[in-house]
């Protein structure tokens, strides 16, 4: 029997949250449908109604943490000035804060990347995600170029550089939160991005 209308989205979200906790605790290699069922208090049969296997749950976990990051970035950008430089700094800080405040979320990314190396479909999902993120960041860079705040550049290439910086520092915060604080990391990442995009002085 299928779940009642309205229950399904809530139950699916509950399963995904449990999966994120399991991934943070045991990694993908230790993830089983039985463990997720135990974490949620649901039967394995219910889990299989929503997800065919643990790979499907991994993809759903990635989608969930990505959506959460999108919301955090949008909220951070909405709180501050609308110029491109401020929007990029807000994006950088939101990503770095996620690594500290929701460490399990970044572990999902790491576990997904590990599995992606051995699965073409997962690589395609990751490629689509990164293409979307480069375009989102590139749109902000283009805004700065049009406003005369940034130098003329290939905006998607610039977005790839910025994304690489954010990923690298976020991973360091995930692996070793004591290495430096979010405020410090946000400051030097923001300064690095500003220098990288600064207009050349004739």
For the chain, domain boundaries:
7-197
pLDDT score at 3: 56
pLDDT greater than 90 at residue 199: no
Query: Tens digits of per-residue pLDDT, 131-190?
Result: 999 999 999 999 999 999 999 999 999 999 999 999 999 999 988 888 888 899 999 999
Average pLDDT, the chain: 92
Query: Tens digits of per-residue pLDDT, 96-113?
Result: 999 888 989 999 999 999
pLDDT grade, residue 4 (50/70/90)? low
pLDDT score at 31: 95
Confidence (pTM): 0.88
Q: 7-197 has which fold?
A: Tetracycline Repressor; domain 2 (1.10.357)
pLDDT greater than 80 at residue 6: no
pLDDT grade, residue 21 (50/70/90)? very high
pLDDT score at 13: 94
DSSP the chain: -PPPTTHHHHHHHHHHHHHHHHHHHHTTTT--HHHHHHHHT--HHHHHHH-SSHHHHHHHHHHHHHHHHHHHHHHHHHHS--SHHHHHHHHHHHHHHHHHHTHHHHHHHHHHHHHHTT-HHHHHHHHHHHHHHHHHHHHHHHHHHHTTSS----HHHHHHHHHHHHHHHHHHHHH-TTSS-HHHHHHHHHHHHHHHHPPPP-
pLDDT grade, residue 202 (50/70/90)? very low
């Amino acid at each position: 029997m299928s779940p009642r209308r309205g229950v399904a989205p809530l139950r699916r979200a509950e399963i995904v949250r449990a999966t994120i906790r399991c991934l943070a605790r045991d990694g993908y290699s230790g993830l089983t449908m039985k463990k997720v069922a135990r974490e949620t208090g649901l039967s394995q049969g219910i889990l299989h109604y929503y997800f065919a296997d643990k790979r499907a749950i991994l993809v759903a976990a990635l989608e969930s943490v990505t959506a959460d990051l999108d919301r955090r970035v949008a909220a951070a950008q909405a709180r501050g000035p609308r110029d491109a430089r401020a929007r990029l700094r807000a994006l950088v800080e939101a990503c770095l804060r996620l690594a500290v405040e929701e460490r399990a979320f970044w572990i999902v990314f790491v576990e997904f990347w590990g599995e992606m190396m051995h699965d073409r479909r997962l690589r395609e999902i990751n490629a689509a995600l990164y293409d979307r993120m480069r375009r989102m960041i590139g749109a902000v860079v283009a805004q700065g170029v049009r406003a005369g705040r940034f130098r003329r550049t290939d905006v998607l290439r610039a977005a790839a550089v910025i994304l690489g910086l954010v990923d690298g520092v976020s991973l360091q915060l995930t692996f070793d939160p004591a290495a430096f604080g979010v405020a410090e990391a946000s400051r030097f990442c923001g300064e690095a991005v500003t220098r990288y995009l600064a207009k050349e002085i004739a």
